[in-house]
Amino acid sequence: MIKWCAFCQRFQGQIPPFERMQLTHGLCPRCAKLGLHWSVEQERRIEYLGDLASKFWKAGVTRDIGELKNIIDDAVKNRIRPIDLLFGLAGPSLTKVGDLWAKNLLTIQEEHAFTKTCERFIEMIRNRVQLNPRTSRDSEENSSPRILLATIPGNEHTLGLRFTQLGLLSIGLTCEIMDDAHSIEEILERAKKIHATTVGFSISMVEQMPMLLEAMKRFGHSDLNVKILLAGGRAISEGLIDQRSLPKNVKLLSLVFDESERALFTEDSQPHAA
């Protein structure tokens, strides 16, 4: 299920059962500390968000670009961050489309059409994120850490990388994308060349898990001083990665791209995987 904070309306990641793409609400850590009390306003905002999700799905299916723009404009007016729309609406919708295609309930043409629509949505979100003065300023001033995002060899889908790139940009961090590697060694060499402190891996199918685990092991045991290893959202949220199979200095995290998560990339700490 897709979790949102009922007060600040920020995306909070996925929770079991992961196969269900419905919205559910709780409190984010920040709002929980404030001791906020439930009110009719929260009920209205929950209803509004559900309506927004329905509109997004319909716009994606019908390829209504104008409606996608309206959704973003309306959400921003209601104090919802553009980046949360990307992870809380577009991300789950793409997962749903992929599952429908796997069950032969969508044609490959329909799956590609929805993906193309989401690519346009990404560009709309990118423009909103880049227009944020604080984000743009921090990104220009912050030349470190050096973050590399790469698709696992065999994965030709780059939307996951682009989602993550915008998520990092939304909290003031820039990164490099490598989506044409043919081997783990190529990714490792590129990481060494740019002196990467953070490396992110993207997979699109469960069948790519062995290659992902191999990549994480190679980086974990390399002489590269990688502080944080990223392994993608679904692989972690659905428990596809066994912590026991990873190097001891690698841990698993899930990111929602809150400003507080900048510390994971900028402070000196032990390596993590997310």
Q: Where are the domains of the chain?
A: 2-131, 141-273
Q: Between the CA of residue 175 and those of 76, 148, 161, 168, what are the distances in Å?
A: 25, 6, 10, 8
Name 230's bridge partners.
Answer: 200
Q: So what's the pLDDT on residue 162?
A: 92
Indicate the Cα dihedral angle 148, 99, 88, 269, nearest 10°.
-30
Specify burial of residue 42 (Cβ count, 10 A radius: 0-12, 13-18, 19+).
Answer: middle
Position 68 scores a pLDDT of 96
Q: How far apart are the first and last CA of the chain?
A: 19
Q: Which residues, given as ranges, of the chain have pLDDT below 50?
A: none
Cα-based torsion angle of the residue sequence 216, 255, 115, 161 in order, rounded to the nearest 10 degrees = -40
pTM of the predicted model as reported, rounded to 2 decimal places: 0.87
- At residue 177, the pLDDT reads 94
Domain 141-273 in CATH 3.50.50.60? The answer is: no
- For 184, other C-beta atoms within 10 Å of its C-beta total 20
Output the pLDDT for position 56: 95
